[in-house]
Chain A
Amino acid sequence: MTSKFSVIGQRVHNIDGTEKVTGSAKYTFDVVLPNMLYGKILRSPHPHAKILKIDTRQAKKLIGVKAVVTGKDTLGRKQGIWRRFPELCDEEILCRAKTRYIGDPVAAVAAIDEDTAEEALDLIEVEYEPLPAVFDPLEAIKEDAPQVHDGVELNININRHIEWGDVDEAFRKCDHIREDQFKCSSQAHVCMETHDAVASFGHNGKLTVWTSTQSSYYIQRLYADMLDMRESDIRVMNRHTGGGFGSKFELDSAQFCAAILSQKLCQPVKIVLTREEEFTATKRRTPMYYFLKLGAKKDGTLLAKEARVITEGGAYTAMGATALYLTGFFSSFPYKFPNYRYDGYRVYTNTEPSSAMRGFGAPQSTFCGESQLDMMAEDLGIDPIELRRKNGMTPDYEVPGQAFIQSCGLHQCLDKIEETIEKRGKLPPNHGIGVASYGFMSGGIFNWFNTPYAFSAAVVRINIDGKADVFTGACDIGQGSNTTLAMICAEELGIKLEDVRVFSGDTGICPPDLGAWGSRQTLMSGNAVKRAAAECKSQIMEFAAAKMGVNIVYDLDIKDGWIHIVNRPERGVSYYDIVKGAIRGKDGVAIMGRGHYTPHRKGMISPAYSFGVQAAEVAVDVETGRYKLVNVTTAHESGTVINPVGIEGQLEGAIMMAGGYGYCEDQPMDEGKILNPSIADYKLIRSLDMPETEILEIDTYEPEGPFGAKEAGEGLTNPTAGAIGNAVYKAVGVRINDLPITPEKVFKALKEKEKKKKAK
Chain B
Amino acid sequence: MSKPSTDMNQIEINQPEMKSVVNAPQPTIPLPRGPVPQAPTRESRSIEIKIDGHSVSVPEGSTILDAGRQLGIETPTLCFLESLTPVNVCRVCVVELEGSRTLVPACSRKVEANMSIKTDSERVRLSRKLVLEFLASSVDLSTAPKMQEYMERYGAQPDRFGETRATVAQPVKVDNDLYVRDYSKCVLCYKCVEACGVDAQNTFAIAVAGRGFSAHIATEFDVPLPDSACVYCGNCIGVCPTGALMFKSEFDMRQAGTWDESKQMQTDTICPYCGVGCDLTVHAQDGKIVRVTSPLDHSVTHGNLCIKGRFGWQFVQIQPAENGK
Q: Bound pair: A and B?
A: no
Binding site for B on A (CB under 8 A): none
